[in-house]
Chain A
Amino acid sequence: MHLALFIIFGALCVAGALNLLFQRHPINSALSLIVVMSSLAVLYLLLGAEFLAAAQVIVYSGAIMVLFTFVIMLLNAGEEQRTHGSKMAYFAGVPGAAILVSLLTFIFLSNRGNFAQARIGDYIASTGDLSRVLFRDLLLPFEVTSVLILIAILGAVALARKEH
């Protein structure tokens, strides 16, 4: 059953990513990306990262992609047009990605003896385990991240402001 879940949600991830690539309207790409992120949340659950799965849904699918959807709706983005750059991009992009995918897959699958087997239910990282590391050993990076978010908020407000 573990295998069935992995195959279903792995296939959903890949299908969503391919849909992002092949759709012409950006709103369809955005929805495919939401599907990818939610399927990744399930894969995190299979790997025992339950807090990360919840954070993935809340932060990525539920906030960042809402931001993308708002921008697409507000700017009234239409379907993509074929311009002079897209032909060159096809010749560079498709072989490049094909080489990359075959290289990565070959390396990972040929070394699969060096990696362990994951079984569902082992090594579940509870929120307490994550918090213990985050608030004791990594307290300074955590606080710096909060400053980073503050700077990002200020930057976004300043950049998107209407000029008078």
Chain B
Amino acid sequence: MIPIAWYLALSGILFSIGVAAFLIKRNIITVFMSIELMLNAVNLSFVAFSRNWSQITGHLQVSGQIFVFFVMVVAAAEAAVGLAIIIAVFRARNTLNVDQVDLMKL
């Protein structure tokens, strides 16, 4: 028997580590991966809440899991487009460091 609050706390910890990585890291790809980490943390909290609601109402509730399904799809689409943008930026600036691509002027 695991209290669902522990799952939520774990999701909070993962989310904060994602925020820290997003702010600290200087490589574009790693920044993008920290966004995926944040999305995964939120997915965990959705599934935990869906389970919580099932236990409260007494029969199976799947709305949280359906939402996770949609988040996965959107994250996949976003990863594809984001990585294409990163490739385009690399072709133009020839660097992957966020500090060197922070101006619109080359």
Q: How far is the CA of A46 from the CA of B10 in the complex (A)?
A: 14
Q: Is the CB of A141 within 8 A of B70?
A: yes
A-B pairs with beta carbons under 8 Å apart, 20 shown: A14-B17, A21-B17, A36-B40, A44-B44, A49-B65, A56-B43, A59-B72, A71-B87, A80-B30, A81-B26, A89-B23, A96-B20, A118-B3, A118-B7, A118-B55, A134-B69, A149-B73, A155-B80, A160-B83, A162-B91
Q: Is the CB of A47 within 8 A of B51?
A: yes
* Residues in B lying within 8 Å of A, measured CB to CB: 1-10, 12-27, 29-30, 32-34, 36-37, 40, 43-44, 47-48, 50-52, 54-56, 60, 62-63, 65-66, 68-70, 72-81, 83-88, 90-91, 96-100, 102
The smallest C-beta distance from A152 to any residue of chain B, in angstroms, reads: 4
The smallest C-beta distance from B56 to any residue of chain A, in angstroms, reads: 6
Q: How far is the CA of A51 from the CA of B66 in the complex (A)?
A: 10
Closest B residue to A155 by beta carbon equals B81
Q: Is the CB of B8 within 8 A of A40?
A: no
| 0/1 string, A28-68, CB within 8 A of B gives 1 | 01100100110010011011110110011001100110011
Q: How far is the CA of A116 from the CA of B52 in the complex (A)?
A: 6
Q: Which residues of A contact B60 (CB under 8 A)?
A: 123, 125, 129
Q: Is the CB of A52 within 8 A of B86?
A: no
Q: Interface on chain A toward B: helix, strand, loop, or mixed SS? A: helix
